Amino acid sequence: MWGFNITKTRAIDFDKNNREPMMEILRLEPSIRVCIACGACTATCTSGNLTPFNIRQLNVFMQRGEYQELKKEMHKCMLCGKCTLVCPRGVNLRHLILKTREVLLNEEPLFAQN
Amino acid sequence: MTMKTIAIIGAGPAGMEASGSLARLGYHVVLIEKEATVGGHLKNLFQLFPDRRPGKEILTHLVQTIKHPGIQIKVNSEVSEVQKLDNSFALKINEETMNADAVLVTTGFDLYDATEKEEYGYGIYPNVITSADLEQMFHNGKVVTEEGKTPKRVAFIHCVGSRDEKAGNNYCSKVCCVTAVKQAIEIKELLPETEVFCYYMDIRMFGPYYEELYREAQEKWGVMFIRGKLSEASQNMDGSILMKAEDTLAGKPLRMNTDLMVLMAGMVPSASSKKVAQQFKMEEGQNRFFKSADNHYRYNESQQMGVFIAGACVAPMNITDTIANARAAAVKIDEYLKN
Amino acid sequence: MQPNYFDPFVLPFTLSMFALLTFLVFKYGSWIYRFGASDRKKVFKGFFSRNSWLAMKEIFMEGLLHRKIFKTNRRLGYMHMSLAFGWFLLIVVGAIEAHTFAKGSSPFYFPIFFRFFVPGTHESFFSDGFTQLMDLLLLFVLSGLFLAVLKRFKSVWVGQTKTSRKKPIDRVVLTSLWLIFPLRLLAESFTSGIHHSGGFLTGSLGTFFGVFLPINQLAYPAWWAYSLALGFFFIGLPFTRYMHIPTEMVLIFFRNWGIKLGVDNPVLMEVEINSCPKCGICIDTCQLSSMAGIHNTQSVYFIQKLRYHEDYNQVAESCLMCGRCEAVCPVAIDLNSIRLMHRADVSATREENFGFIPVQTRTADVIYFAGCMTHLTPTIKNSMVKILNASGDKYWFFDKEQGACCGRPLKLAGQLEAARELVERNRQMMMESGARMLVASCPICYKTFAEDYHLGMEVLHHSQYLERLMANKQISVEKLEVSAVYHDPCELGRGSGIYESPRAVVQNVAKLKSSVYQKENALCCGGSIAHLTLPLEKKKQIARETLRLLTVEHPQVIATGCPLCKKSFTGESGTKIMDIAELVAKALVAKPVREAAKQQKEPVYL
Ligand SMILES: Cc1cc2nc3c(=O)[nH]c(=O)nc-3n(C[C@H](O)[C@H](O)[C@H](O)COP(=O)(O)OP(=O)(O)OC[C@H]3O[C@@H](n4cnc5c(N)ncnc54)[C@H](O)[C@@H]3O)c2cc1C
Ligand code: SF4
Ligand code: SF4
Ligand code: SF4
Ligand code: SF4
Ligand code: SF4
Ligand code: SF4
């Protein structure tokens, strides 16, 4: 049918987005709260070196309740730990990625609407 | 009434300014400096932000201040022993003992040892230098790479060893953002053809005319600002440096070659401050700088009665604040000794 | 005619013994049944093999004599040995005594209650000797028991700082265990007192008790109490840690028959879990408890959580996998592997995750793999390049532009599926190069290359490679004027058993100082990527404390063989931290240019 395609809005709709998974991820690994978005993690990232995979940006999306990208991309991480080693704020990114996967994989039905 | 004696440890801007103030208030001051000359870090500064006046001018002014009959200057000297008496301290300096009714500690800061951030390559790649090294180049009037060439590109890296939990320093060193901007402009003046970049996490322009300087760097000098922290650097065959960072505003990793990479090494509490802290049983704050008795009201008092603190040994600060701080300490000491 | 050796008081013991044996037969049978086909085959093949004898020998040495506990802690060793070996001898010697007396068949409980049924002195062969011997053995057991009681109340007395926490059911069964031997002593003493028999212990005690106690009335209840204590103990045993006593023996058989844990043998894992006696040795060696103030995650607690099906997720993630506990565990439980098995695998299975890794190959003799971490410690990388260039070997710097990770970090995080994919991709490229040797600078990578890649080429850590280069005179070095202590990285030392090569390298280029904390007893730097949740501050705490212990001899340099160790130590250390590759690169004597050129007929890939 024409005319009824649902086009996703381009803005981040913070009110409508489902923030439950994000709250759960932040509960399991709160250290991402102190991220200052310096990008050192993305710059050093072993996977990001080989493919467009931006761990910093994905984590921003996650904290805004946007998971589409994250779900597609999160398995590209090799958990090598370089990001965690260079982070000036001591964010435990490796654990964060693990917990993100855990939450988004295991509890998917729960958070179905996003 | 006998003249009271004040020992001031460290003859940087803070120690010098406080000496002058206290001498003018009529005290006998013994100014103790471990180096051969006075001036502290100011000695090494070519031009000062924000107005670009020569560092030498301020230094000359400070040297004038301490040319006072009430001030006894002891260079190449350190306090080796401290004994707390009832209302004073017995200090041993160069095998001599002196009595001080009050002590002002102005031991300043050290530059962060950038070799600790091995991934940045300081001490490994010759074309990675610190802001202090660059300041030295300005003194010599010549900015060249290790190979003796004029750099076509210079990159400044902000926050090296500051705001970095891995380096153990969570605080902001305050002066390095504006120093980077100042040095960027100096490069452009010296080498107009050279491209200059600043890699920053946040630009902190806290003082009067600092923001204006930042704007000038963009507007007049075309300095480029990239928001991203350097993750690592390596050396190319020709000695230039390959930098890796994320351009966080573009949301993409960024690679860039540069002929000279300048690390804005931050301020850390000086190693000799630590020694002084032990001698006088002074407390350190969480950031390892000296802890004030009160952050607002008794900023220049240490936790130890009769021992005062001023300047960059209390927290990272610029020269303007250091001088104001030193004077404030002088007033406090005066009040203390009159009681 | 056989006298009737029966009295109702033997029932608690006898019935519970039957119940226990039935339970064990079912339990062990079900384990064997649940084993995979290949393991089951090993059981049946192993049963009649020579390995069963080896197993019995091992049971004797470890299960009874507790040789390994002796090694780490004498007093604790004596405690365990006197209880286990003493009890064993009591049973064996008791059985011989009873059989010599009965000269034929008797009920199986007969030896246990021998003194009750044969209270007086008698004339059978060596009867006096047996009586004295049995008293001696009882005393032996009681001495161990005494230590155990002490340990319960003040663990430092047996040389341990902390003891493991116990569950209520453990406490009930523990009490009955403690009561068994004192009750036996009382029962035998009372009976001996009445009949003026008994050895140096029971006899004299009996006489002594007889002076002020109505031993005639007390003897029979004492035998009841003894039998009841035994009964409680046997019935409670399967539900408590004492299950380890029989299970440990079974485990030793399984192991000798060649059954291994690997990372996916849940049945053997269950056997191992049930074999832990909660000796608590793993608590003291864990740096998380001694240096970081984390007291809930040590192996004994983790195993306990698994055994009682408690929530283990957090604890599974909180471990450096340094292997210090595994190295001292007297039962040799595969503690690291068990921990790994319990880290949730959330790698999306059967999906191509790493398709983006570019395939690149080159021909070379030697592949050099620096590793991700090494890219953050460029001095190590540069030193290796310098050495490789000097070696004349035709090499390929596999991850010069940073290739993929080796896969071990994924494995250490429990992401086995994803790790396998990564391993396979790297492996392909390595195999195609036709190289004869792979050299890795990172012990984490080295371990996985050596164990999981099956490359069919030699895999060396750079310490081994450097040792060889020097031995072959491929490079020459001049000894530096520095003293160095060598810090064993966990993955290289305990993890891969490489202790000597790095030391040989250091010895060639510097003065090697020794340390108490070396080889098997080396400490972890705190930076291990295996710990998934340790906050930075705690990592630093561990690094600082480790550095303090490493530098008591004031070395000028701390040498190590791992980029991650170097990273964790730097910034916390007043002593210079150097990788052995850096030391060698520094000590390298440049060869005359022409000679070097001659050796490098082929172009060197960089
Ligand atoms: C790269 C760089 C550029 C800068 N540029 C500017 C600028 O342009 N404008 C500006 O306003 N500020 C600038 N600053 C800041 C400025 O350097 C400080 O504000 C100032 O130096 C602080 O003075 P101070 O006396 O407290 O400490 P210091 O300058 O550190 O002086 C301390 C003195 O104490 C001595 N001392 C230490 N311990 C002992 C001891 N135990 N016994 C005896 N003597 C001891 C030391 O030798 C030294 O002489 C810059 C800083 C840096 C790092
Ligand atoms: S752990 Fe993952 S996100 Fe972090 S650097 Fe490695 S590949 Fe990138
Ligand atoms: S390195 Fe740390 S602080 Fe910087 S963007 Fe990544 S997570 Fe945030
Ligand atoms: S002043 Fe700027 S460069 Fe210096 S530490 Fe603060 S933010 Fe970083
Ligand atoms: S795991 Fe090993 S060391 Fe720890 S309590 Fe059990 S048997 Fe003892
Ligand atoms: S492996 Fe290391 S960190 Fe983990 S429990 Fe054992 S001793 Fe502790
Ligand atoms: S094991 Fe560690 S150092 Fe080695 S390649 Fe993988 S992430 Fe890098």
Instruction: Please name which of C303, C310, C297, C313 lies closest in space to residue C335, comparing C-alpha atoms.
Output: C303
Residue C596 lies in a domain: no
Do C378 and B116 make contact, defined as CB atoms within 8 angstroms?
no
Domain tally, chain C: 4
Do C377 and B119 make contact, defined as CB atoms within 8 angstroms?
yes
Mean pLDDT of A20-33: 95
For ligand 5, atom 1, name the residue with the nearest CA.
C300
The partner residue sitting opposite B231, judged by closest CB among A44, A54, A90, is A44
> Distance (Å) from the C-alpha of residue B291 to the closest C-alpha of chain A?
24
Residue at which a domain ends, from C311, C346, C381: C346
> In terms of domains, do C490 and C539 share one?
yes
Residue A84 lies in a domain: yes
CA distances from C11 to B229, C106, C224 (A): 77, 16, 9
Bridge partners (DSSP) of residue B242 are B234, B257
> In terms of domains, do C156 and C207 share one?
yes
Q: Which amino acid is at C284?
A: D
Q: How many helices, marked H, and strands, marked E, lie in chain B?
A: 7, 18
> Distance (Å) from the C-alpha of residue C244 to the closest C-alpha of chain A?
35
Residues near ligand 2 with C-beta < 6 Å?
A 44-48, 55, 77-83, 93-94
* Whole-number pLDDT of residue C124: 79
Distance of CA C292 from the midpoint of ligand 7 (Å) = 25
The partner residue sitting opposite A78, judged by closest CB among C348, C358, C410, is C410
> In terms of domains, do C387 and C319 share one?
no
Q: Give, to the nearest 10 degrees, the angle between helix A20-28 and helix A55-63.
A: 120
Mean pLDDT of C99-113: 85
> In terms of domains, do C495 and C583 share one?
yes
Omega of the bond leading into B69 within 30 degrees of 0 (cis): no
pTM (predicted TM-score): 0.87
Range list of H helices, C308-373: 313-317, 324-328, 335-341
pLDDT single digits (tens) C493-535: 999 999 999 999 999 999 999 999 999 999 999 999 999 999 9
Looking at the complex, does the CB of residue A30 fall below 8 Å from at least one CB of chain C? no
The Cα C506–Cα C432 span in angstroms is: 34
pLDDT single digits (tens) B40-67: 999 999 999 999 999 999 999 999 999 9
- Of B234-248, C249-263, C565-579, the one with minimum mean pLDDT is C249-263
Residue at which a domain ends, from C403, C438, C471: C471
The Cα C387–Cα C404 span in angstroms is: 24
pLDDT single digits (tens) C531-586: 999 999 999 999 999 999 999 999 999 999 999 999 999 989 999 999 999 999 99
> Distance (Å) from the C-alpha of residue A6 to the closest C-alpha of chain C?
29
**Ligand 3 atom with least separation from CA of A37:** 5
* Whole-number pLDDT of residue C308: 87
Do A78 and C348 make contact, defined as CB atoms within 8 angstroms?
no
Looking at the complex, does the CB of residue C351 fall below 8 Å from at least one CB of chain A? yes
> In terms of domains, do C457 and C489 share one?
no
Domain tally, chain A: 1
Do C409 and A80 make contact, defined as CB atoms within 8 angstroms?
yes
For residue C594, pLDDT over 80 is answered with no
For residue C364, pLDDT over 70 is answered with yes
For residue B152, pLDDT over 90 is answered with yes
Most C CBs within 10 Å: which of A98, A100, A104, as the mutation test of the C interface? A98
* Whole-number pLDDT of residue B129: 98
pLDDT single digits (tens) C410-437: 999 999 999 999 999 999 999 999 999 9
The partner residue sitting opposite A79, judged by closest CB among C344, C375, C413, is C413
Q: What is the mean pLDDT of chain B?
A: 96
- Cβ–Cβ < 8 Å for B169, B176: no
Task: Tell me the residue range of the domain where A103 lies.
Answer: 36-113
For residue A110, pLDDT over 90 is answered with no
Q: Which amino acid is at C196?
A: H
* Whole-number pLDDT of residue C352: 76
* Whole-number pLDDT of residue C165: 63
- Rounded to 5°, the CA angle C175-C179-C180 comes to 120
The Cα B239–Cα B217 span in angstroms is: 28
How many Cβ atoms from other residues are within 10 Å of residue C243's Cβ?
22
User: At residue B242, what are phi and psi to the nearest 5 degrees?
Assistant: -100, 120
> Distance (Å) from the C-alpha of residue C606 to the closest C-alpha of chain B?
11
Q: For ligand 6, is residue C315 a contact (CB within 6 Å)?
A: no
- Of C29-33, C551-555, C587-591, the one with minimum mean pLDDT is C587-591
The Cα C460–Cα C384 span in angstroms is: 13
* Whole-number pLDDT of residue C142: 95
Residue C147 lies in a domain: yes
For residue B146, pLDDT over 70 is answered with yes
Residue A82 lies in a domain: yes
> In terms of domains, do C335 and C430 share one?
no
For residue A42, pLDDT over 60 is answered with yes
* Whole-number pLDDT of residue C163: 56
> In terms of domains, do C490 and C580 share one?
yes
Exposed/middle/buried for residue B339 (C-beta within 10 Å: 0-12, 13-18, 19+): exposed
Quote ipTM for the complex: 0.89
Exposed/middle/buried for residue B144 (C-beta within 10 Å: 0-12, 13-18, 19+): middle
How many CB pairs below 8 A link B and C? Answer: 28
pLDDT single digits (tens) C466-484: 999 999 999 999 999 999 9
> In terms of domains, do C417 and C553 share one?
no
Residue C605 lies in a domain: no
Q: Which fold has domain B5-108+270-338?
A: FAD/NAD(P)-binding domain (3.50.50)
Residues of C in contact with A76 (CB under 8 A): 353-354, 356
> In terms of domains, do C412 and C488 share one?
no
Domain boundaries, chain B: 5-108+270-338, 112-266
Task: Tell me the residue range of the domain where C492 lies.
Answer: 483-587
Question: Do B5-108+270-338 and B112-266 agree at the fold level?
Answer: yes
Mean pLDDT of A14-34: 93
* Whole-number pLDDT of residue C92: 92
Confidence of residue C37 (pLDDT cuts 50, 70, 90): confident
Domain at C339, CATH number: 1.10.1060.10
The Cα A21–Cα A101 span in angstroms is: 11
Domain at C444, CATH number: 3.40.50
The Cα B176–Cα B333 span in angstroms is: 31
> In terms of domains, do C373 and C450 share one?
yes
* Whole-number pLDDT of residue C242: 86
CA distances from C41 to C47, C247, C251, C510 (A): 10, 20, 16, 53
> In terms of domains, do C294 and C323 share one?
yes
For residue C188, pLDDT over 60 is answered with yes
Place of tokens 């080429």: C457
% chain C with pLDDT above 70: 94
Domain B112-266 superfamily per CATH: FAD/NAD(P)-binding domain (3.50.50.60)
Q: What is the mean pLDDT of chain C?
A: 90
* Whole-number pLDDT of residue C4: 76
Q: What is the largest CA-CA distance in chain C?
A: 103
* Whole-number pLDDT of residue A55: 97
Instruction: Please name which of B196, B192, B161, B191 lies closest in space to residue B176, comparing C-alpha atoms.
Output: B161
Residues of A in contact with B244 (CB under 8 A): 43-44
Mean pLDDT of B268-281: 94
Bridge partners (DSSP) of residue B255 are B244
* Whole-number pLDDT of residue B121: 96
Q: Which amino acid is at B245?
A: A
* Whole-number pLDDT of residue C602: 42
Ligand with minimal distance to C372 CA: 7
- Of A32-41, B174-183, C152-161, C594-603, the one with minimum mean pLDDT is C594-603
> In terms of domains, do C112 and C193 share one?
yes
